[in-house]
Amino acid sequence: MIVSPLNKLVCPLCAKPLVAEPSRLVCGAGHSFDKSRNGHVNLLPVQNKRSLSPGDSKQMVQWRHAFLAGGYYDAIAEKINDLVSKQLTTRSSLESYTVIDGGCGEGYYLTELATHLRRLSLATEVLICGLDISKWAVQAAAKRDKSIQWIVASNKSIPVNRASTDLILCAFGFHCYDSFADTLKSGGVLILVDTYEDHLIEMRKLLYPTIKPFQPASNDGAIEAGFSLSHSERLTVKRDLPRADIERLLGMTPHMHRAPKEGIEKVTSLEHLTLTIDVSFRVFVKD
């Protein structure tokens, strides 16, 4: 199997096809987007930003990169690999298969997937793109794997042709169902990975005086956008964290900014913590 960068992007301003030149992407209307030294491209127009630097900060990205390097979320990556592989093996006669990671962060899950796919003995060429609204996340991701097209963009407006994508992965990202449906082919697959009831429960009990009742992610938005639920499952594992990785985990999550000072002090004073990793996987098919 060949893993290649997705090369069928469209201009975020006029939706015309983007043509790759040595140092930039340009459309027929003359809109130009420079390639970075690492090959990623910013396709998030200024008018689509809610702040000067939307998404995760540079520090959050660094914390997440260091934490994930510890292997604590490997089981999540392995399940994603398994779910995508099953989709590919049922379509092994296709010449190409397009995968987009919407909300790729610093690229951990997508690079793990690309490495896994290279081991499969299929003739299909897999065209891969990772996008995130955080420029810091995409800069970090672009250093991981050059066989992936990394772009700064939003799930609300994915800069590819309509009905051109076979599979969208959204792991802990924002669910933009209409945009996902617009981007996927008929019969295309959407894989959502979300936190579940007991995710990081030990840390959350230390951070907050009370824990809000858990509300599972609803399928209604996906169904209204034209998807059918094909499969769902839950993954729960335990992980032991030393102090340094406790601090990194806290720093990479919204809890760092939401939790009261007393709770943060409790967590950051720990030398060791056993945590529950609890996530859900839902696989939808576009009708």
Q: Which residues line the annotated binding site for S-adenosyl-L-methionine?
A: 73, 106-107, 199
Q: Is 195 left (phi over 0), alpha (psi -120 to 50) or beta?
A: beta
* Helix ranges, 143-184 (H): 177-183
Which structure tokens are listed for 231?
């499969």
Which structure tokens are listed for 268?
């950051």
Number of other CB atoms surrounding residue 19 within 10 Å = 13
Strands (E), 112-226: 125-132, 149-152, 165-171, 184-195
**Binding-site positions:** 11, 14, 27, 31, 73, 106-107, 199
| Block residue for tokens 């990975």 | 193
Closest CA to 250 of 66, 104, 54: 66
Determine the Cα–Cα distance for residues 232 and 227; give it in Å rounded to an integer: 14
Closest CA to 154 of 128, 173, 169, 127: 173
| Block residue for tokens 């098919």 | 285
Sign, CA dihedral 140-142-148-151, equals positive
Number of other CB atoms surrounding residue 242 within 10 Å = 12
| Block residue for tokens 């995968």 | 99
**Binding-site positions for Zn(2+):** 11, 14, 27, 31
Q: What are phi and psi of 222, to 5 degrees?
A: -65, -45
Q: Please count the CA atoms within 13 angstroms of the CA of 129 that sit on its side-chain side.
A: 28
